[in-house]
Amino acid sequence: MFALCAALVFEANVHAGTAAAPQPRNAVLQSNDFEVPHLEIAAESAYLLSILGNPNNYEIGAEFITARLRWGVNRDADSWFRGYNQVYFLAMAEPIFRGPENRYFGISTGFRHVFIRPGWRVEPYVSGGVGAGFIDSTDAFRNGQGQDFTFNILTAAGLAYRLDEHWKISASILYQHLSNAGQTDPNPSLNLLGPQVGATFSF
């Protein structure tokens, strides 16, 4: 029986021809298929300057810890939106280097789309979300924020580079808006723009 099984396996291998060597998991995928992470954890830092709408020249350092969960995949090779969607939740801590206030802490949730092209390790992406947080507001005479509680809007566009099956590094342009949605008068909102860099671990 053993000899018969061995003979059948040998015959199947002969007719199958030469099998393609298995590709390592971290190889760049050349076909229309691609691996999509189920969950990602990212640590990112940004340096933001105020633009428009506020007389103070704010300088803010922003630190983000983000969890991203896969939500939908587009594998159509002819589509501009070939890639995958993610839902994210993040926590932020922002020391204010220049401006009437000293610090801001907040949370945000939103969506992210990652564009995948065949054979590329570079992954362009865009993201946007909304949230809320607290700033140590100061008096109105210095055109500071009207109250501690504020809403936030985050929008980013950037590039991630896939180092291997687990790690990516990224660079982007980040826009952040802080406002209390008119709960105080005046409401000197903040519009911030600047570079952001980060590292991501994929599960």
CATH number at residue 171: 2.40.160.20
Please indicate, yes or no, if residue 9 is contained in any of the structural domains. Answer: no
Residue 48 pLDDT: 98
For 34, other C-beta atoms within 10 Å of its C-beta total 19
Please indicate, yes or no, if residue 182 is contained in any of the structural domains. Answer: yes
Residue 29 has pLDDT above 50, yes or no: no
Residue 140 pLDDT: 61
**pLDDT, tens digit, for every residue of 120-143?**
999 999 999 999 999 998 766 566
pTM of the model: 0.80
Average pLDDT of 69-97?
Answer: 95
112-137 as b/e, with b when 16 or more CB fall inside 10 Å?
A: bbbbbeeeeeebbbebbbebebebeb
Average pLDDT of 3-31?
Answer: 42
- Which distant-in-sequence residues (6+ apart) come within 8 Å of 14 by Cβ? none
Residue 92 has pLDDT above 60, yes or no: yes
- Which distant-in-sequence residues (6+ apart) come within 8 Å of 202 by Cβ? 37, 39, 40, 165, 166, 167, 168
Please indicate, yes or no, if residue 46 is contained in any of the structural domains. Answer: yes
Phi, psi of 27 (to 5 degrees): -70, 150
Please indicate, yes or no, if residue 139 is contained in any of the structural domains. Answer: yes
Domain that holds residue 57: 40-202
Please indicate, yes or no, if residue 12 is contained in any of the structural domains. Answer: no
Structure tokens at 171: 């660079």
pLDDT band at 78 (very low <50, low <70, confident <90, very high): confident
Please indicate, yes or no, if residue 16 is contained in any of the structural domains. Answer: no
Sign for the CA dihedral angle at 98, 99, 105, 110 comes to: negative
Please indicate, yes or no, if residue 54 is contained in any of the structural domains. Answer: yes
**pLDDT, tens digit, for every residue of 152-186?**
999 999 999 999 999 999 999 999 999 888 787 77
Is residue 86 within 8 A of residue 71, CB to CB? The reply is yes
Please indicate, yes or no, if residue 76 is contained in any of the structural domains. Answer: yes
pLDDT band at 21 (very low <50, low <70, confident <90, very high): very low
Lowest-confidence pick of 101-110, 152-161, 185-194: 185-194
Residue from 36, 56, 19 nearest 191 by CA: 56
Q: How many separate domains does the chain show?
A: 1
